[in-house]
Structures are given as structure tokens and as C-alpha cells.
Chain A
Amino acid sequence: MVDDKASPGISVRNLYKIFGKNPEQYIDLVKQGMTKTELNDKHGHVLGLKDINIDMPAGGIQVVMGLSGSGKSTLIRHINRLIDPTAGEVLVGDVDVCQMNPAQLQEFRRHETAMVFQKFALLPHRTVMDNTVYGLEVQGVSRSEQLERAQRWIDRVGLTGFESNYPNQLSGGMQQRVGLARALTNDAPILLMDEAFSALDPLIRMDMQSVLLGLQKEIKKTVVFITHDLDEALRLGDKIAILRDGEVVQQGTGQHIVLNPADEYISSFVREVNRGRVVLVQTIMDTSVGLENREGPAIKIGTTLEKAAKIMTDGNSSMAHVTDAQGKMLGSLDIQAVISSMVTPISHDDPVAAE
């Protein structure tokens, strides 16, 4: 089993999932390259996931993005094996989840993972408190410890005073906070979030994202976050994998995907993105100037263009220089370059408008 303190990384290797009566029968055909449509038309089986390989960073947020039907919810359910794979492995640390027997799996789910669901999936007959302690109760932790640990997270997600309310009495945003508190109370090193914020309205969603990012700074869990929203993916993800029809189309950092979309499909997503919040200063800085040429305000590496533009305009300066954490200068920025990189380049524009 994995050490409780450090969150393990997760490696998904050659993962296939076929839905239907005899999935094993068709796995070889799929490996030889049969497509989803062919499999469905000829054999009546549905190809859920095809040859998925993702390395999810330990202690970081891995976002899996895709539209509905892309297989993203199927993928996340393989990590705690709510769905059994047809072929492949899911390594958590160095343990293959797919090889666990039922008893090991139960232990793994109790202590190593916690999950947040799109439709909250709270127990309607239990109060907020009794929902939050559920994971600990299943583990057999004493009631007083359950209450103490749960109270901490209820307070942390801002539900103090609602402990004895039933889920039905809360708004969607508050219900999802309960879902989050329930998962965090488990204190498992892996946090699985299946479209956790998708059912919430935009303001509350932003708010919950901030809650998650704030928490993640302290708790450093390995988070797997599923979403269909690219803005959300870019805001949260240390790494992003984009899924389409059960296959990974592209993976990498948010900036990498925005700047180098692998195909038409991804460009069409990326076109609408606010690049100023994704692209970082070091990507566009000019390193050809002399490194002693410290003009304008200093901007730290890792700053987004939007923030850099704000610093520069606030300081009423058209130039700035980029420094590393120690304050050493790395390159220079001018406001023109910042703004032009924030605007969607013509190649990504609507094809009709571009003509």
C-alpha cells in the first residue's frame, strides 16, 4: 500500500474498455485498429476507452477534459475501479488497481481514494454532518473522532451552522460543498472529482474552483478532475489530457495545449479561450536583449500575461523585465508583445471570418 503522507502519482497504461456482452472477444480487433463505429455497427459493442496512457502527477491536479460521451467519466471510474477495465493497468504508486482482490479493493477505496460526484450523490436521509463522516464511519473510526475531523472540513468549506440540515434543504452549491467536505474528511491521498462543479452556476463554480485551489496549496493531494469546460481545465490543471471518442487526443500543460493545439478539434476549443490567463510571461519574453537592461517593473516567472499587462499599465510603463524566483533577470517584455499574444491569432479565428 502507498504511504499515507505523500500522495502517489497515477499511471494509466494501455487501458481499454469495451461495453457489451463479450468485451474480451473484441479486444484484439480493437487493438488491431477497429474503430468505434465499426465495432458498434458490426458487433453491437461500444468502445468506451481506447489505449489510454496518462501519467498523472503526484500531488498535482490532472484534468481530463472532453465532451459528453468522450469517456472521461468512464476513465475516472477505472482509478477506483467502479468500472472494471477490459485490458490495461492503472498503477497507483506501484500497485496495479486492476489486480486487486475485492478485500484489497475495499481497503484501497477506504484509505487511498475519495470521490466527488457531478450529481453530488449525497445520502438524502442523512444530515450534512452524517454525510460528511460517511467515509470514516465505513472505516470504523470512533464517533468522536469522526465528528471532530468532519467538523474541521465542514468549517473549511464554509458550511458551519448547517451540520444538522438535510441535503434537500441546501442549494446545489452548498450540496457540492458537502460532497467536497465528505471527500476531504476521508483524508485520502487521491481525490477523484467527476465533473464536480459542472452542475453549479458560473459564479458558484468559480468560487468552488477557488476553494479547491486554495485547499490544494495545503493538502497537496493527487487530484484527478474531470470537466467538459476548457476554462475550468486551464484554471485548475497542472496537466490536462483531452479525450475524444474514448481516445486521448492531446495532453500537456494548459499553455502547451493552447499554443500548440494538436488538431482541428482542439483548435476549435482553444479559439474561445482567454489566452491572457493561460500564457505565461516566460513564453513570450525577449531573451535577446542584454540581461542588465532592467527596464520597467520586475515580473516573476510564471505570471500570466493578463497579470503582467495589469502590472505594466498600473506602473504606466511600456516595458518590463522577467525575473526568476531569486530575482535574476531572464528577459524583457514590451506591452505590444503582451497584448498581441493575448489576442487570438488569426490562424485560430473562425474560418469564415478569416477568408
Chain B
Amino acid sequence: MEWLYNFPSMDIESLRALKKGIDGGFRGFTREYGVYIENAFEPLKQFLIWSERFMLDTPWPLIILLIAVITWVASRNKRIVIGTVITLLLIGYFDMWEDTMQTISMIFVCTVLSIVVGIPIGIAMSRSDRLQSVVNPILDVMQTMPSFVYLIPVVMLLGIGKVPGLIAVVIYAIPPIIRLTNLGIRLVDKDVLEAADAFGSSSWQRLKNVQMPLALPTMMAGINQTIMMALAMVVVASMIGVRGLGQPVLQAINNQYFSLGLFNGLAIVGIAIIFDRTSQAYGKRLQKYQEVVHG
């Protein structure tokens, strides 16, 4: 009756062999193709370096001005702009400017990459139920798998540095934009699509003129979520060498520096609020046509 109390598991020898096999296989793959994969990511690395250098080499008043202008163009809301400027000034005053710029640059690149990769996947998913049923579980895995787990193969392949950090952040942050692009397109009113068809729209015209514009507010919600999740990953990514606000937080955890952790944590919260309010206000402006003036 022992098997009732101890689960009849695979015997230790075969289990060890299995794990060894998988590890060995992956190590072999790394040794064989690691170089090519690293080269393939070279453009991304250049983009990351360029963006970080831009944020760090530009004088800080110009950066504050630039961010304030972007916030204004996107939100057309004075309060958001003023809040943004004050937050940035405080961050600078507490000597976290450099780390913050590195983080913002990282988030910027991650968001651009997520949009460039995520939106086409979302569009393809909205057009095929079969693709949707394949992609959805993959997205579930990406969102629930503890991020440390997929850091292992990424680090094995690419080592420690910016690019593996970027990949880890994108894996974690890309699902919302894919899901909400898919959802947004699927929710477009069937009557309007029928009208587009009745006037002889090609499939591209349908996408460009009807589906994308009408899905845009939903897609913006996805982009907003993607940015928030990317920020949440900053601390974890700092474990594999991504510089920025995550590293002081990590240092604070290791050495129990409460105030160091708190200040940098608050800086992350600060830029999260800036990104969130700005992108949400922009999303809302995209829906302006829905305002009913006629009673």
C-alpha cells in the first residue's frame, strides 16, 4: 500500500538522465548557434546603446523639456505636464537622474519592440481562430511562468547584459498588446465591416480604414499595460545586468539599505505614473469622436 502514500514517481536515475539530456541538448545548441543568435540581436543592441547614450548625453534641461513636450502633445493636459516636470526635478534632486534615464531608455526600447512585434501578431490572431487557439496558451505561459525561469536559457544563450534583459522584459510585457490588439479588432462592429465590404474594400483597406482605427483605443490600453509591466520587470532584469533604477533596488535588498530601496522604488513609481497618465490620456483623445454632442 505504500504507493498510496508516496506518489509513484519516475525513478531518480531516469529523471536525472532526462534533465541531463535536456540541459546537454540546450548547451550544445548554445555552443553551436549562440554566436549567430547574438549577431542577430546586434541591431537591437545598437538601438539600446544609441537610445541610452541619447538620454545620458543630452543636457538634463533639454531632456525635461523634451519629455514635457511629448507629454503635452499626447495628453493636452496641463496637470499631467506639470506633474511630470516636478517628478523629474525631484528625481534629479535626489541624485537618481542617471539611473532614471537608463530605465526610461530601456522602457522606451522595450515598448517599441513590443509594439513592432506584438501588433502584427495580434492582427494575425484576429483573422484566424486557429492561430488564436495556438497563441493564447503561449501567452498564458509567458505571463505566468516565473520570470527567473526564462532568464536561465536567455542568459545561457546571450550572457549577461542589455540584450538578454531586453528579451526578458519583452517576453513578460508583450502579451497585453497582442491580446488587446486581437480583441480590439474582433470587437469592431460587424455592420461597419459589412459596409466597408459593400463598397468593395480590399482586405488591406478594410484593415487600414476600419479595423485598425476602431481598434486603436483598445490597442492603446494594451500599450499602456505593456509599459506598466515592462516597468515592473526593471528590478528583475537588473539581476542579469540591466542598468538603471533596478540595480540600486537590488543592492538595497542585498544590504538592507531601506532608504536607498525606498528612493529608487519611488522613482520607478514616479515614471510609471508619468507613462500611465500620458498614454491613457492619449488613448482617451483617440476616442474623441465617440463624444455625443447631439442630445
Tell me the minimal C-beta distance from B87 to chain A in angstroms: 33
Chain B 185-203 interface residues, beta-carbon cutoff 8 Å to A = 189, 191-192, 194-202
Contacts A106-B202, A168-B293, A169-B294 hold; do A121 and B191 have CB atoms under 8 A apart?
yes
For chain B, give the interface size range. Answer: 20 to 34
Inter-subunit contact A124/B192 (CB<8 Å): yes
Contacts A124-B290, A169-B292 supplied; 7 other A-B pairs, CB < 8 Å: A125-B289, A134-B196, A134-B209, A138-B199, A166-B291, A168-B290, A168-B294
Digitize A116-160: 1 where CB-to-B-CB distance is under 8 Å, 0 elsewhere: 010101111110000000110111000000000000000000000
* Any B CB within 8 A of the CB of A114: yes
* Any A CB within 8 A of the CB of B34: no
Complex interface: chain B residues within 8 A of A80 (CB): 198
Contacts A125-B213, A166-B289, A169-B294 hold; do A117 and B200 have CB atoms under 8 A apart?
no
CB nearest to A167 among chain B residues: B289
Chain A residues bordering chain B, tally (CB within 8 A): 33
* Any B CB within 8 A of the CB of A171: yes
**A137 to B205 CA separation, bound complex (whole angstroms):** 10
**A108 to B290 CA separation, bound complex (whole angstroms):** 33
Could you list 16 A-B pairs, sorted by A, with CB under 8 Å? A106-B200, A109-B199, A110-B199, A113-B198, A115-B199, A117-B191, A119-B191, A124-B289, A125-B214, A134-B199, A134-B209, A166-B289, A168-B290, A168-B292, A169-B293, A170-B294
Main secondary structure of the interface of A (DSSP, over half): mixed
Tell me the minimal C-beta distance from B217 to chain A in angstroms: 10
Tell me the minimal C-beta distance from B7 to chain A in angstroms: 45
Chain A 82-117 interface residues, beta-carbon cutoff 8 Å to B = 82, 106-111, 113-115, 117
Inter-subunit contact A123/B192 (CB<8 Å): yes
**A115 to B200 CA separation, bound complex (whole angstroms):** 11
Inter-subunit contact B210/A123 (CB<8 Å): yes
Digitize A161-189: 1 where CB-to-B-CB distance is under 8 Å, 0 elsewhere: 00001101111000000000010001000
Complex interface: chain B residues within 8 A of A110 (CB): 199-200
CB nearest to B290 among chain A residues: A168
**A116 to B111 CA separation, bound complex (whole angstroms):** 42
Tell me the minimal C-beta distance from A264 to chain B in angstroms: 35
Complex partner residue of A168 from B197, B200, B289, CB under 8 angstroms: B289
Contacts A106-B200, A106-B202, A138-B205 hold; do A121 and B292 have CB atoms under 8 A apart?
no
Q: A residues touching B (Cβ–Cβ < 8 Å)?
A: 80, 82, 106-111, 113-115, 117, 119, 121-126, 134-135, 137-139, 165-166, 168-171, 182, 186, 192
CB nearest to A134 among chain B residues: B199
**A33 to B200 CA separation, bound complex (whole angstroms):** 36
Inter-subunit contact B214/A107 (CB<8 Å): no
**A120 to B210 CA separation, bound complex (whole angstroms):** 15
Inter-subunit contact B195/A117 (CB<8 Å): yes
Contacts A125-B213, A168-B289, A169-B292 hold; do A138 and B191 have CB atoms under 8 A apart?
no
Complex interface: chain B residues within 8 A of A170 (CB): 294
Complex interface: chain A residues within 8 A of B294 (CB): 168-171
Inter-subunit contact A121/B199 (CB<8 Å): no
Tell me the minimal C-beta distance from A259 to chain B in angstroms: 36
Inter-subunit contact B290/A121 (CB<8 Å): no
CB nearest to A175 among chain B residues: B294
Contacts A121-B194, A123-B192, A123-B209 hold; do A114 and B199 have CB atoms under 8 A apart?
yes
Digitize B82-98: 1 where CB-to-A-CB distance is under 8 Å, 0 elsewhere: 00000000000000000
Digitize B111-128: 1 where CB-to-A-CB distance is under 8 Å, 0 elsewhere: 000000000000000000
**A200 to B198 CA separation, bound complex (whole angstroms):** 22
Tell me the minimal C-beta distance from A77 to chain B in angstroms: 8
**A49 to B293 CA separation, bound complex (whole angstroms):** 42
Interface centre among A111, A124, A125, A182 (most CB of B within 10 A): A125
Inter-subunit contact A135/B199 (CB<8 Å): yes
**A186 to B289 CA separation, bound complex (whole angstroms):** 25
Complex interface: chain B residues within 8 A of A182 (CB): 199
